[in-house]
Chain A
């Protein structure tokens, strides 16, 4: 059921594993799982190579250093490493881009897909930082703590996503 050589696990097994990760996170890090603020930490460090004033921008400065900021950067790096390991062991190799893009948006090549991928990523993180969290922080963590604000943000997130997919994409 949990063999790494398998290409797919039950979503319920995977969901339980992700939910259980709250335990070490609460007990060892005194925080809940999250992903999107790591983009601020990495972005602020890149910006600091060009802009010596980053330390004066309060929001960016608060994401530069400290154990919790670097913990979250390590989490997202670990996500990439874990997915890579899992894919290599099972042999579930992927194309350069998912076939969904040719079907839904008529972009069958990486060159055609790349600009929209960049714009999508940009919009996604602007939204996540305005809301103060993403699918992980507001979704998995906020809803598991019964947070009213997080539940509201998740409802808005699905509304935005569903409207975009319905209006801009062909059904696949």
Chain B
């Protein structure tokens, strides 16, 4: 494929992705930090809904039309250690690698530092890829749960999707998304009234 065509497809995909990230408020640092504090579940709701939709779309494409899959291999050490480090970074950055760009687009200035740090981190990893990979010294198969269970992809994908839908229904009953978005759509509840004001109004009442 010509690079220019790939770039046009990427831009179109990204613009839709960016609109969905901004409108759903999942790009908000308050939502991402709130998710990691197990206070706000908006991130999990959008994430799992995207997984459910992907499961159904990929089950149809792969199951009915034979479209190939693009699994990453199972690498125990790299997945666990890399995943843990990634999570620490997400909490400190208040962003994921993708949502950092949405933050920059929506006007958060600190996102530019997250992106700059991310480029530096990716480049640093790139220079040390050979020793890091040698240190982990593992190779893995591109294995899916369907293979582990010995069942057809479509069956496992649709079953997994159904379980996730039930989980989402439960989450939404527990905490409606509008409450989680908050009054300024930044994933934060309104601040409680200043204690000083409360004392003042109490003493006012006392005087009268």
Give A125 to B87 CA distance when docked, in angstroms. 10
- Please pick, from B33, B114, B142, the residue contacting A100 in the complex, using a CB distance under 8 A: B33
Q: Which residue of A77, A135, A166 has the most chain B CB atoms within 10 A of its CB atom?
A: A135
Q: Give the CA-CA distance A116 to B114 in the complex, in Å.
A: 8
Instruction: Find out whether the CB atom of A159 lies under 8 angstroms from the CB atom of B14.
Output: no
User: What separation, in Å, do the CA atoms of A38 and B120 have in the docked complex?
Assistant: 12
CB 8 Å contact bits of A151-172 with B (1 = contact, 0 = none) = 1111111111111111011011
Contact partner of B82 (CB less than 8 A), chosen from A25, A28, A75, A131, is: A131
Q: How many Å lie between the Cα of A141 and that of B113 in the bound state?
A: 27
State A44–B119 Cα separation when bound (angstroms). Answer: 9
A28 is contacted by which of B9, B71, B78, B153 (Cβ under 8 Å)?
A: B9
> Count of chain B residues with Cβ under 8 Å from any Cβ of A?
134
Instruction: Report the minimum CB–CB distance from B53 to chain A (whole Å).
Output: 2
Instruction: Check if B29 sits within 8 Å of A78, measured CB to CB.
Output: no
Query: CA separation between A59 and B174, bound complex, in Å?
Result: 45
Cβ < 8 Å to B, chain A residues 113-172: 113-166, 168-169, 171-172
Those of B68-103 within 8 Å (CB) of chain A: 68-76, 78-103
Contact A124 B33 (CB under 8 A): no
How many residues of chain A get a CB closer than 8 Å to chain B's CBs? 138
Main secondary structure of the interface of A (DSSP, over half): helix
Residues of B1-43 at the interface with A, using a CB-CB cut-off of 8 Å, are 1-3, 5-30, 33-39, 42
* A26–B67 CB distance below 8 A: yes
Which residues on the A side are within 8 Å of B42 (C-beta)? 11
* Complex A-B: 22 CB contacts under 8 Å: A8-B181, A11-B24, A16-B50, A19-B51, A36-B97, A39-B97, A73-B7, A79-B21, A79-B101, A80-B101, A100-B188, A118-B117, A118-B120, A122-B118, A127-B82, A146-B156, A147-B74, A148-B144, A154-B83, A161-B36, A162-B36, A164-B87
Q: Which residues of A contact B (CB under 8 A)?
A: 4, 6-33, 35-40, 42-44, 46-47, 57-60, 63, 66-68, 70-87, 90, 92-101, 103-104, 110, 113-166, 168-169, 171-172
